[in-house]
Structure 1
Amino acid sequence: MARKIGSRYTANQILGRGSAGTVWLGEGPEGPVAVKLLREDLASDQELVGRFVQERTALLGLEHPNIVSVRDLVVDGNDLALVMDLVRGTDLRTRLERERRLAPEAAVAIVADVADGLAAAHAAGVVHRDVKPENVLLDMQGPLGPGGSHPALLTDFGVAKLIDSPKRTRATKIIGTPDYLAPEIVEGLPPRAAVDIYALATVLYELLAGFTPFGGGHPGAVLRRHVTETVVPLPGIPDELWQLIVQCLAKAPASRLRASELGARLREQLPMLAGMPPLEVDEPEAESTEEGPQEAPAPAASGEPVRRRGAVSLVPGAKPDSNRDTHTSMRVPGPDELAGGARGTARAPRTAGAPRPGSARHRAAARRRKITLGVAGVVLAAAIGVGAWAATSGDDEPPQDTHSTSGP
């Protein structure tokens, strides 16, 4: 059922729902648009509405081929909406779930597009704060790029900042998606442009590997890994590309590249990645929790995509939304919780078929090695015994004492 959004727009059809609101296919004076209608409780928050209006100029001024432009911000009664360009295509999460992982050339081309969009936003003083595959749209009507990739556009600028008001998130709260949160956010520092670079490098790692470098398990463990663990290398990618990822995943924000530098450096990598197939690495197995080991996801029914772990809710027990929009909050972990430990360490990607250290398969293999070594030890001991017997069996007479003297 159609509904009016302000005096200029009509929302005709729901495209998706998220924890922040609902996205509609709409119509405006200049043609089709996408309308993100925020939740009613957000619209009734006068402080948030004030921030909404304050952000209007900055958001409307973001114009770049790799940014989904915000055309208008509507405040009308109980309606609080962002009116955006309509992109005919899908989001990067949908493609990732369909293909599991992308060929390096396509992955790098997509991330380079996003980096270019971030460079324009950062130059305008706007930090996205929630870079993730759900917020990257692929324009299926645009020209194909390297590796057959469609143009990538970053969307949802300003939503995380609008919702992250002092009234809603005190200094002990954080907003975002655990897998993509930079360490400084976890530690309670204000988000700067470098947090977008960290998140984008995490997205690149995920496109190549099929899983994020620090994800998996309880959200608290994920946050801890961001602060305490270093990223584990991915086998099979050029060293130059890996060094870029490592630099952009640095714990210190000042060590990361700027968005413009990252985009340029990634495009330099494209020629050497041409024709390279997707990496063959296995996703680390689910780690044990206090409630017991986590079950691996069951195979999907025929024709249905397998839902792989990517963005997870920060609130334990919360159910993901249809478009997995996760603008939710969680307290900042204390120093003791960020100290690391046996649980919550970075999971090492493995060559396809190899068991993860500490997994059931790995323990079974270790037991088999112990049994093999035990049997080998018995055989070796038996062989040594037989050898010793053979060495002494030919000497039946007692030894002669050559130094004895005759008696009187």
Structure 2
Amino acid sequence: MRPPADTLLGSTLEGRYRIDAPIARGGMSAVYLGVDLRLGRSVAIKVMDARYSGDPQFLRRFEFEARAVAGLKHPGLVAVYDQGIDDGIAFLVMELVEGGSLRELLRERGPMPPHAVTAVADPVLGGLGTAHAAGLVHRDVKPENVLISEVGEVKVADFGLVRAVAEAGVTSASVILGTAAYLSPEQVEAGDADARSDVYSMGVMLFELLTGRTPFRGDTPLALAYQRLSYDVPAPGDVVDGVPEEFDEIVLRATEREPGDRYADGFDMRRALLAAADDLELPPFTVPAPRRSAERETMARLRGAHPGAVPPPAPVPDHTRVQSRPGMTPGTGAPVAPVPAGAPSQVARPATAATDRRRDDRHVSTVEPDEGGAVRALLWILAVLVLAAAIGAVGWWVGQTYLS
């Protein structure tokens, strides 16, 4: 039996935003690849579920949150361009991040070494800190809401949607909003959330990046959510070998059950993370986009069906060009790809380029020797030897002629 056809495909919202292809679908919304016909650029269009579109409370909060997020400027945030309601369809127009999600990258590669974790968390915490300074809270920080572009940009998406849904009249008071594995204790217990709630979720996400799994288990989302009311998040180093103590301390403080014992906001946690990275002399790293993602597949299908209608993907950065952190020896910061699933997180020390290539030669460009120069030098040497032999032979012949 075929699934029902998506009636939105090919339609145009407010006479401006054409919906071309689906990218992802969740419980509250669906995301589509679209085109802003007025500006001629590709965009991501998030369309809210029909059950929310008819709720006045939701629509008021949805518009307010969209306006607030659109005013934020930070490279770690997905830009919001527009929002609207067209014939009962509530939608959000956002920057299209060509690449994939952090969740898709984790599925491909498993846990990450500390320097790769830092490269992911730095822009995310910067984006969260910018929002926190403006009085906004994400409420659903998780790998699915972190996007990675083809050129290694890391951005947070979906600000404000959880709060808008929470205030909708169609939402039951007994429903825990957010993703169970990443919720803070206060979100589970009372539904309250502030900047420190996002910090807790970031601590859980760092734990997962370092270990390859989330800290709690439960048979149902509700049981999973309630685990954090009675148990602390363990140190990542207690789960896998090789995690520096500095990273254990960051995760443990971020996931304190009492909000007052955590970092105050995203900026506060970011300062601690960067201080640890400097102390450990971690090399900089460009986060690779996942090789396979829903967004990539959608773009590839559309390019195949309509050549020239969708611009080609952005060039992948050269991972061999690495800037050293202050205090590091230049040239020792070559990037290392995240380790395979199931392998322990690596000790956070600068590694050689040769070691990096052994770990993963798919994302590290090696520099080939100048073979042409070597050949030319060899030819010159041979020419000199032949000339010397010829001169010697002539000299010998002349000597023999006169002596005889």
TM range (shorter): 0.5 to 0.7
2:129 aligned with 1:119: yes
Q: TM-score, normalised by structure 1?
A: 0.63
Please give the residue correspondences for 1:72-83 in structure 2 after superposition, counting only pairs within 5 Å: 72-83=82-93
2:57 aligned with 1:47: yes
The answer (yes or no) to whether the contact 1:5–1:76 under 8 Å persists in 2 is yes
1:174 match: secondary structure: coil
2:46 match: secondary structure: strand
User: Between Structure 1 and Structure 2, whose CA radius of gyration is higher?
Assistant: 1
Deviation (angstroms), 1:97 = 0.5
Q: Match for 1:71 among 42, 65, 81? A: 81
Structure 1 Cα separation of the partners of residues 179 and 136 of structure 2: 19
* Corresponding residue of 1:247: 253
The answer (yes or no) to whether the contact 2:52–2:170 under 8 Å persists in 1 is no
* Corresponding residue of 1:357: none
Please give the residue correspondences for 1:69-218 in structure 2 after superposition, counting only pairs within 5 Å: 69-141=79-151, 150-165=152-167, 167-218=169-220
Query: What amino acid is the match of 2:33?
Result: L
Corresponding residue pairs, total: 274
Structure 2 Cα separation of the partners of residues 204 and 3 of structure 1: 40
Query: What amino acid is the match of 1:221?
Result: A
Structure 2 Cα separation of the partners of residues 163 and 227 of structure 1: 24
Structure 2 Cα separation of the partners of residues 169 and 273 of structure 1: 48
2:6 aligned with 1:4: no
Structure 2 Cα separation of the partners of residues 262 and 275 of structure 1: 19
2:20 aligned with 1:26: no
Q: Describe the shift of the 1:34–1:250 C-alpha distance in structure 2 as closer, same or farther (beyond 3 A).
A: same
Structure 2 Cα separation of the partners of residues 6 and 112 of structure 1: 37
Could you tell which deviates more after superposition, 126-135 or 223-232? 223-232
Structure 2 Cα separation of the partners of residues 223 and 17 of structure 1: 23
Q: Describe the shift of the 1:203–1:115 C-alpha distance in structure 2 as closer, same or farther (beyond 3 A).
A: same
The answer (yes or no) to whether the contact 2:197–2:259 under 8 Å persists in 1 is yes
Q: Describe the shift of the 1:275–1:224 C-alpha distance in structure 2 as closer, same or farther (beyond 3 A).
A: same
Structure 1 Cα separation of the partners of residues 18 and 266 of structure 2: 36
The answer (yes or no) to whether the contact 2:57–2:168 under 8 Å persists in 1 is no
Structure 2 Cα separation of the partners of residues 237 and 14 of structure 1: 39
Could you list the structure 1 runs, at least 4 aligned residues long, displaced by more than 6 angstroms after superposition.
none
The answer (yes or no) to whether the contact 2:203–2:255 under 8 Å persists in 1 is yes
2:227 aligned with 1:228: no
The answer (yes or no) to whether the contact 1:178–1:215 under 8 Å persists in 2 is no
Deviation (angstroms), 1:351 = 10
2:70 aligned with 1:60: yes
Deviation (angstroms), 1:304 = 10
The percent of aligned pairs where both chains have the same amino acid is 32
The answer (yes or no) to whether the contact 1:174–1:186 under 8 Å persists in 2 is yes
Structure 2 Cα separation of the partners of residues 259 and 74 of structure 1: 29
Structure 2 Cα separation of the partners of residues 47 and 168 of structure 1: 9
Deviation (angstroms), 1:72 = 0.5
Structure 2 Cα separation of the partners of residues 189 and 181 of structure 1: 10
The answer (yes or no) to whether the contact 1:104–1:273 under 8 Å persists in 2 is no
Q: TM-score, normalised by structure 2?
A: 0.64
The answer (yes or no) to whether the contact 1:13–1:25 under 8 Å persists in 2 is yes
What's the CA shift string for 1:145-171, capped at 9, x where partnerless? xxxxx2210001111111112523354
The answer (yes or no) to whether the contact 1:112–1:262 under 8 Å persists in 2 is no
Deviation (angstroms), 1:179 = 0.4
Where in structure 1 are there 5+ consecutive unaligned residues? 142-149, 277-302, 306-349, 353-408
Deviation (angstroms), 1:231 = 2.0
Query: What amino acid is the match of 1:45?
Result: D
Q: Describe the shift of the 1:172–1:86 C-alpha distance in structure 2 as closer, same or farther (beyond 3 A).
A: same
Q: Describe the shift of the 1:7–1:187 C-alpha distance in structure 2 as closer, same or farther (beyond 3 A).
A: same
Deviation (angstroms), 1:218 = 2.7
Deviation (angstroms), 1:37 = 0.9
Q: Match for 1:17 among 3, 8, 25? A: 25
Deviation (angstroms), 1:80 = 0.6
Could you tell which deviates more after superposition, 81-90 or 44-53? 44-53
Structure 2 Cα separation of the partners of residues 81 and 166 of structure 1: 16
Structure 2 Cα separation of the partners of residues 65 and 49 of structure 1: 27
* Corresponding residue of 2:299: none
Task: Give RMSD over aligned pairs.
Answer: 2.3
Bigger helix share: 2
Could you tell which deviates more after superposition, 86-95 or 231-240? 231-240
Deviation (angstroms), 1:262 = 1.0
Structure 1 Cα separation of the partners of residues 182 and 18 of structure 2: 34
Deviation (angstroms), 1:51 = 2.0
